[in-house]
Amino acid sequence: MSKLSSVKRFMRSRSGRGFLLHLGVCAILSAGVGYGFHYFSLNWFVEHKSGEKIIALRLVDAFVTNYSAIRSQFGQNAPVPASFRAHAIEAFNKRAPDNSDFRLRSVGRPGREIVTPPTDARMAEVIEAFAATPNPKAVSELLDINGEQMFRTVYPTVAQEQSCVSCHNSLQPGKAQWHLNDVMGAFAIDVPVSPFLRTVMWQSSGIGVGLFLALALAGLIISLIHFRQLEALNAGAAELGRTQNFLDTIIENMPVSIAVKDARDQCYVLLNRTAEAIFGMVRGDLIGKHVNDPSNKEVAEALFPRGGEASHTGDLQVIDEHVVDTHHNGKRVLATKNLSIADEIGEPRYLLSVSEDITERKQAEARIEHLAHHDTLTDLPNRAAFSEHLARVIEMARRGGESFAVLSLDLDRFKEVNDVFGHAVGDDLLCEFSRMLRELAGDAFLARLGGDEFVLITPNGDQPALAEAIARGLLEAVATNLEINGQHLRVGISIGVAIFPDDGADATTLLNNADAALYRAKTAGRGTTRFFEVEMDNRLRERRAIQHELSSAIARNELHLYYQPQAKIGGEVIGFEALIRWNNPQRGMVSPATFIPIAEESGLIMHIGEWVLREACREAASWPQPLQIAVNLSPIQFRHGDLVALVHSVLLETGLAPVRLELEITEGVLVEDFARGLSILRRLKALGVRIAMDDFGTGYSSLSYLQAFPFDKIKIDQSFISNLKSNPQSAAIVCAVVGLARGLNLPVLAEGVETRAQLDFLAAESCDEVQGYLVGRPHPIAEYSKLIGRLDTIDEKMRSA
């Protein structure tokens, strides 16, 4: 197949077409040579044979003439010359073989012949022509006689002696008489030409064919050599073309402007597509034009900035940044490299300019620089910018002996806005609040540190009067309803103030003290301003110390679980709730109300919550009685980590039946991220564990949660139970919750039951379960050994001891 393809390529090439033309010329030349050989061979035959025959006939005439001269010497009976000649011819023909090409005959003139007349009309015409010619000469010609090619030579016989005339006249007295020098007839020789013609035909054909083949072979060899040379040239040209196309494509599509001008005539040589796009020109209008053309002078300066310098030095010239004003795309920032390209003798030949449009990169760098120091949501300076600015302000104030204040601001009830209206509304609120603060701040430096936490640095001035005036203005400005996306929101701010240098001589101390004052303002009821006091610092230090000590409490075995019984309304204990206690060596028993919020804020609750779950399940799995164990989960555990995988692994590790584990959650789990919280609860439910809603009634959307997820139990918060006697609203809420749960076919557990009156009230309302001091206080599980079925084991140990 490849050979056939090669033949096709050869025949379609110039070499193949030339070879075909060569074959045509060879055919014509070979035919001409063959025909010429045939023609010249035939002429040679005619001339050669004609000469032979004429010489022979002349010899016969000479012999007869001589004989006539000496005939008298042979006596009166000697044959007459004519008879002698006839006999001589007859004797000659008899001795000649049958295939001889020499047949001699003597014929008479028509009407005067003695013995033999002409054999055909053509011979008679020739003899008559002899008679009409004064000096007749022999005639030789090719004739077709009876379908056979013959070569005939006719030689005239003339009566040159009187004896011959007299003899002939006596032999034919009734015919016309002969006279001296009359044409009496002719000698005729007919030679067959066909054998010679066949030989000549074969020879001329062979010569023509041989010549054609030789010339064709030579032409084929030359054509093949030429074809191979052409193919090599074409391959090289194709490779060169592909390389050229590749380079053209690369240059054309490079994302940088490439411009080349001739260093000699200063005309544009090359411009790529990117150059057109950057500078807003059509390269067809520039290629071949002089760079000093007035109509393109601005483009020339933009394409080759400081090009003369590069041509003069011959070194690579790098221009990191330069601005070009384009008519179609405004100002663009370019980074350009100019390079002078020398010719073979080292003289400048071309000037190459490569320009990259770095406008977007510079803008991106500016944006990155801006984002590095500004908040993405509000566009206020961020913590990094605040830290830098605070350091500068402290240094200036320290050198000038001046004073300024740091105001730490926090939005009140911002979490509720996020929970109720969603994070989108919360973000819009932050943006609007930032706008208001920016307008009110004046010359003060305002920054957002994160979430709803803002900070403001006042100008230098009379402190704390200036700080108090600014804080008062901020409180009054935000003490109104804000309309965000059609929602009327009432928010406020709490402000903590620290004064330099009284409340801190460095940035860290100053900001920490402002945060401490803010914490005091929020705990004091929000919507207020608090200036830093030493007691605040002490409380803040105490809080941080507790966080630090709590981080290693598990490793030091300072955390313990206490268990509080949960019972049916009739008094039957059905399970326990695991409650964490911290026995600090220095502080003693630390209340969960103190360290749990700190653990949640710091993230330690993840580690502590896992320990509580594992320890409670391990303990419950060892009870002889299959009582339930309730464990509280923090909303933080739902937001971070894989809670479902943790519960599953703990159940497998401890061997506790899933149905015995009851996980207590608060509404915060669903408020913060409803979809995620609901998904996790469903996966926990699929493990077989029970889910209880803790502190029910203290939130604002519990009914929607009960509709969205099938809880196994509702726990009424102890704040309602403790006020049953003194607060009719609490009693009404408890009745409503119990009725709601009964309608939903859910068991209800009341927390904080401490008196018999509370128990009776709950029994009257058909509450299912109770928990509180009336049933049992939180104690180590050893205090409830009898309830969990370990009493016999303890007695056996005592007896064995």
| Distance in Å from the first CA to the final CA of the chain | 105
- 3-state SS, residue 355: strand
User: In 3-state terms, what secondary structure has residue 135?
Assistant: coil
Residues 627, 575 contacting (CB under 8 angstroms)? yes
Start-end of H helices in 716-755: 718-722, 728-743
Among residues 543, 505, 10, the alpha carbon closest in space to that of 230 is found at 10
DSSP letter assigned to residue 284: G
Q: Write the Ramachandran bin of 662: left for phi over 0, alpha for psi from -120 to 50, otherwise beta.
A: beta
- Tokens coding 375: 């908040």
Task: Give the CA diameter of the chain.
Answer: 206
196, HSE (Cβ side, Cα atoms, 13 Å): 21
Q: Please, are residues 749 and 716 in contact by the beta-carbon 8 Å criterion?
A: yes
Strands (E), 24-147: 104-108, 139-145
Tokens of 533: 């006091």
- pLDDT attached to residue 349: 76
Omega within 30 of 0 (cis) for the link into 585: no
Label residues 420-431 b or e (16+ Cβ within 10 Å = b).
Answer: ebeeebbebbbe
Q: Are 104 and 189 in contact (CB under 8 A)?
A: yes
Q: Determine the pLDDT at residue 800.
A: 46
Buried b (16+ CB within 10 A) or exposed e, 230-258: bbeeeeeeeeeeeeeeeeeeebeeeebbb
| Phi, psi values for residue 118, rounded to 5° | -60, 145
C-alpha–C-alpha distance, residues 590 and 579, integer Å: 13
CA 152/CA 143 separation, integer angstroms: 7
- Which amino acid is residue 46, in one-letter code? V
Q: For the chain, what percentages of helix, strand and coil (3-state, to nearest 5) are there? A: 55, 20, 25
d(CA 614, CA 181): 164
Mean pLDDT by 10 residues, the chain (801 residues): 72 78 85 82 71 66 68 66 63 62 72 76 85 83 78 81 75 77 80 76 84 84 82 78 77 81 78 79 73 68 70 75 79 83 77 83 82 86 90 90 90 75 81 85 88 89 85 80 69 87 88 86 79 69 80 86 94 94 88 85 88 95 95 88 92 95 86 80 93 76 71 88 83 87 89 92 92 94 91 50 45
Q: Where are the alpha helices (DSSP H) in 524-579?
A: 534-550
pLDDT reported for residue 53: 63
Which residue pairs from 195-199 have beta carbons closer than 8 angstroms and sit at least 24 positions apart in sequence?
A: 196/45, 197/42, 197/149
Distance (Å, whole) CA 131 – CA 546: 165
pLDDT value of residue 83: 60
Sorted by sequence, the CB contacts under 8 Å of residue 354 that are 6+ apart come out as: 256, 257, 258, 336, 337, 339
The CB-side HSE value for 753 (13 A sphere, CA atoms) comes to: 29
Task: Label residues 161-200 b or e (16+ Cβ within 10 Å = b).
Answer: beebbebbbeeeeeeeebeeebbbbbbbbbbbbeebbeeb
Q: What is the distance, to the nearest Å, from the Cα of residue 25 to the centroid of all Cα atoms in its chain?
A: 58
Helix ranges, 559-710 (H) = 592-602, 605-621, 635-639, 643-654, 668-672, 674-686, 702-708
Joined tokens for residue 4: 């056939």
| Inter-residue contact 263 to 311 (CB < 8 Å) | yes
